[in-house]
Amino acid sequence: MEPVKVGLVGAGPWAEMAHAPMLAASPEIEFVGVWARRPEAAARLGAPVFERLEDLFEASAAICFCVPPAVQAELGVKAARAGKALLLEKPLADSLDGAERLAAAVAEAGVASQMLLTLRYAPQTRAFLARCAEIEPFGGHAVNVSSVLSGDHPFGTPWRLQRGALLDVGPHVIDLLDAALGRVVGVRAHGNPLGWAGLLLDHEGGAVSEVSLCMAGAGDLPPSQFAVYGRKGNAVLPGFDDDPLAVVAAEFAQTVRQGGGHPLDAAHGLRLQRIISEAEIQVTTP
C-alpha cells in the first residue's frame, strides 16, 4: 500500500525529539512537511516547511499535531473541517469547551482520529492490560512524579507551568487505569496540580483506584508505578524505556486507511477531558 501522506503542525522540542522522527522513520507514512508559527523552528525538522497551514492541509491526507492544547483545539477543528484525519496529542484541548468543539468537529466531518497516549502503545502495557483482564480486578493505584515544574526543564512550557499535573500527566494515568479497571464513572480530587494532586476514581463495575500526581519533584525520582489487584491475582506494569512511536505511526496509518475505528480516538480524548475538568474544578473550588 502507498504510504499515508502526513503533515506535522508544530515545531517545539517534543516535535523535534519525537513527532518528526516518528513520521520520517515510518515506512507506513510519507512525511510531507511542517507548518509552525515559527518557521525558523520548523526548518530544523528535516522536512519541507509550509508557509500557509491551508497548503499543508492540501498536501496531506492526515495531520499530526504537536502544539499546546489550546492551539490543538483551534487548529484541529480546521483540519477536521478540511477532511483530514488527525493524530492528536493529549490532552485534547485546554478546556472542556475546546475539547467538545474539537470532538464534535471530528464527528461531524466523519474523519479518522487517534490520540497519542504513548503508554498504551507499548508491548509491556498491553501485556499488563491483558493480565488485568484475567484477574477480576477490584482496585489499583498509580503514582507519577517528575521534575517538569522544577527549574529549567525543556518541557516546562507555559501551559504546563500554569495547569500542572492534572492536565499534562492526568490523561495518561487516567486512561491506563480506565483500561485496566473499567470505565471511570466518578472522580474525587484534592491537593494542588502545581504541587501534589490526588485522585480517587470510581470505575464501572465497582472497582476503585487511587492516583498521585506531581510534577514539582526534585533530585532522584522513582519511576512511575501502576498496580492492579483482583480476586485472581495482581498485575504490575514494569518500568521500561522502549519507544512505542513506531507502533503509533503504524496504527495511525491503518486508522487513516480504515477511516477510523481506533479505540483511542477524539471521543475517548473528550471522555478523559471531562474527568480532568471535573477534577480541576474540585481542587480549585473553595
The model's pLDDT over 111-166, given as tens digits with 9 standing for 90+, comes to 999 999 999 999 999 999 999 999 999 999 999 999 999 877 878 899 999 999 99
Nearest 10 degrees: Cα torsion 251, 256, 259, 265: 60
Query: pLDDT band at 286, cuts 50/70/90?
Result: confident
What domain count does the chain have?
2
pLDDT digits (tens, 9 = 90+) for 87-118: 999 999 999 999 999 999 999 999 999 999 99
Instruction: Calculate Rg over the CA atoms of the chain.
Output: 19
Asked if the structure places residue 277 within a domain, the reply is: no
Q: How far is CA 28 from CA 147, 155, 255, 286, in A?
A: 35, 29, 11, 50
Asked whether residue 187 falls in the same domain as residue 250, the answer is no
- Would you state the cell numbers that stand for residue 120, as one nine-digit string? 498504551
The parent domain of residue 139 ranges over 123-239
Q: How many residues does the chain have?
A: 286
Per-residue model confidence as pLDDT tens digits over 252-271: 999 999 999 999 999 999 99
Q: Domain check: are 202 and 252 in the same one?
A: no
- The reply to whether 283 falls in a domain is no
* pLDDT score recorded for residue 27: 98
Is it the case that residue 70 has pLDDT exceeding 90? Answer: yes
Q: Is residue 286 part of a domain?
A: no
Q: Do 101 and 8 belong to one domain?
A: yes
Q: What is the pLDDT of residue 49?
A: 98
Whether residues 104 and 129 share a domain: the answer is: no
| Residue 274 domain flag | no
pLDDT score for 6: 98
Same domain, yes or no: 174 and 231: yes
Average pLDDT over residues 13-27: 97
pTM above 0.75, yes or no: yes
**What confidence tens digit (pLDDT) does each residue in 43-63 have?**
999 999 999 999 999 999 999
In a shared domain, residues 61 and 203: no
Residue 35 pLDDT grade (very low, low, confident, very high; cuts 50, 70, 90): very high
Only one residue has cell 501534589, namely 196
Same domain for 70 and 127, yes or no, is: no
Q: Is 110 helix (H, G, I), strand (E, B) or coil?
A: coil
Q: Is residue 76 domain-shared with residue 150, that is, in the same domain?
A: no
What CATH number corresponds to the domain at position 33? Answer: 3.40.50.720
Q: Is residue 258 part of a domain?
A: yes
- Domain assignment present for residue 200? The answer is yes
Average pLDDT along the chain? 96
Establish if 271 belongs to a structural domain. no
For residues 166 and 235, state if they share a domain.
yes
CATH number of the domain residue 134 falls in: 3.30.360.10
Q: Are residues 92 and 40 in the same domain?
A: yes
Q: Is 231 exposed, middle or buried (0-12, 13-18, 19+ CB in 10 A)?
A: exposed
For residues 141 and 76, membership in a common domain is answered with: no
Q: Does any domain span residue 280?
A: no
pLDDT mean over 157-186:
97
**Domain match, 260 and 218 both:** no
- Of 223, 239, 255, which one is at a domain's C-terminal end? 239
- What are the cell numbers at 88? 492528536
